Amino acid sequence: MLEKLHLAVGFFFLLIFLATGAYLFFGFPDLYQGREEIRMMYRATHIYILFAASVNLLMAGGLKVYENWLASAQMLSSIAVLLAPLLILAGFIIEPPSYLIERPFTFWGIVLLLVGVLVRSLLHLSWAKGHAMPQSDQQSGEKGAKDSGKAPNYHRA
């Protein structure tokens, strides 16, 4: 279920990225009225939308099923990454016209992406460490593959 949700959010925010790009293309220079800092706020947040969509698409392809506390950590990382594009979109809509230089929506959206990616990366590292192929199996697998003409299979379930 999380995989499909990340995929849907990722593609939806890719469409939002295209829509905000069209908005910027057809609305400039009226949007920023000659103030370059406003123009840069719009453009940066526009790129952050693409970033958040991309992270969601990547998270859709790399989900593993964990047990115990790892499942809770996986859910936490998914929730953080799923909420981030909403905050970043709110930042695009609210911050530049209101001249919010502190950019609270965008800031917390990027922080959520960072937390989600770091937690998921630590989960993957923890999982990979526990499922590493022993050296003796790895060598025999490579030798057997050379003898049979087939590539060794190191796929981790």
Q: Does the pLDDT of residue 31 top 80, yes or no? A: no
Residues 114 and 106 sit within 8 Å (Cβ to Cβ): no
The answer as to whether 54 is a domain residue is yes
Domain assignment present for 155: no
Assess if residue 151 is contained within a domain. no
- Residue 134 forms part of a structural domain: no
Residue 82 lies in a domain: yes
112 assigned to some structural domain: yes
pLDDT band for position 1 (cuts 50, 70, 90): confident
Whether the CB-CB separation of 84 and 49 falls below 8 Å is answered with no
Residue 7 lies in a domain: yes
92 is a domain residue: yes
Instruction: List, for residues 113-129, the tens digit of each pLDDT value.
Output: 999 999 998 888 876 67
Q: Which residues contact 152 (CB under 8 A, 6 or more apart)?
A: 141, 142, 144, 145
Only one residue has tokens 């199996």, namely: 137
What are the two backbone dihedrals, phi and then psi, of residue 33, each rounded to the nearest 5 degrees?
Answer: 45, 45
Number of domains in the chain: 1
- Name the pLDDT band for 139 (thresholds 50, 70, 90): low
pTM of the model: 0.77
Provide the token pair at 70.
Answer: 């790892």
List the domain range (segments joined by +) for residue 20. 2-129
Q: In which band, very low, low, confident or very high, does the pLDDT at 131 lie, cut at 50, 70 and 90?
A: low
